[in-house]
Amino acid sequence: MKRLYPIAVKRGATIGVVSPSGPVRDERQFDKGVQILRARGYEVKLAPRALSRTFHMSAFGAEKAEDLNTMFADPQIAAIFPSVGGHTANQVLEHLDYDIIARNPKILVGFSDNSVLLNAIYARTGLVSIHDCADIMFGVGRFGDERLSTRGEYTARYLFSAIENAKPLGTIEPLTDWQCLRVGTGGGIALGGNLSTLRALIGSPFEPAWDGAVLFLEDSAEPHQWDQQLGHLRLTSVLSRVSAVVVGKVENKPEQFYKENYQPIPEIIARHCMGYDYPILYGADFGHDVENFAIPIGVRVQVSGLARTVTFTESATRLAEAST
């Protein structure tokens, strides 16, 4: 597949904000995120339904897709950020105009439920995008939060490096200790995001090609849910086709359904990847309610289990003069 690269953004560019998943439920926190982007020198433009609400969604799938299609078609928009996560971003996919997206490649940032958009759009168009905890409300809006003081520095550094500099991120600097669950080396195209969300792509026309990919996974699910979801990835041959697995920080969410005698998540991961010989890292710095390094979806990355390193060897963006 021919890959499409968005243009790196400069201060003064306009960032479009959409709500492809759930509704904004805290406008004060949302406004804080908008102000942080403006303080960095960006203009911000809200999509018509960025602050709307329809039941547990911001809007119905076709309406949310219309906002995204409009943002991609708008020549004034240089990058697109989501307002917040949720559970219904997959309902947007059948309504997106992938021809418009392919003709107007631009930076798309997503996380959690919105990671489904990154992988599906890459599968259909080849557009490289950015996985990072940078939704306006819970991501950007919490940069500098005293309770997550390192998050503001670490997450923002990697986010803006990915979208402002047309250079590879290189070897990621660990903020915490990463575990090696299996040694070895592997490399390929970076795919992945939220485990629960990615499962919604399997068997659909929007499923990416997993062969040889490096699979990044994060989720705030309980251990028994990790077991079920990874079991699905094994049964559908996803885990047999990738070249490495990198799992993020797993929120300390206690097991509620099976409170006694449950298997720890690292052991669950190792069990479902049994029989394969690629490296597995666990506890890397990305996930819910933790610091995040940016993961450019669709670029090449190398993983070493023994060295516990993740190295992005390609840039996620291009300079304007090199875009053609």
Q: What is the pLDDT of residue 147?
A: 47
Q: Tell me how far CA of residue 75 lies from CA of 16, 105, 272, in angstroms.
A: 11, 11, 45
Per-residue pLDDT of the chain (324 residues; tens, 9 = 90+): 899 999 999 999 999 999 999 999 999 999 999 999 999 999 999 999 999 999 999 999 999 999 999 999 999 999 999 999 999 999 999 999 999 999 999 999 999 999 999 999 999 999 999 999 999 998 898 786 544 444 478 999 999 999 999 999 999 999 999 999 999 999 999 999 999 999 999 999 999 999 999 999 999 999 999 999 999 999 999 999 999 999 999 866 677 777 777 899 999 999 999 999 999 999 999 999 899 999 999 999 999 999 999 999 999 999 986 554
Q: What is the pLDDT of residue 146?
A: 47
Q: What is the pLDDT of residue 145?
A: 56
- Intra-chain end-to-end CA distance of the chain, in Å: 17
Q: What is the pLDDT of residue 149?
A: 44
Q: What is the pLDDT of residue 142?
A: 79
Give the pair of three-digit tokens for residue 244: 């490495």
Q: What residues pair up with 43 in beta bridges, in sequence order?
A: 14
What domains, with CATH codes, occur in the chain?
14-166 (3.40.50.10740), 170-312 (3.50.30.60)
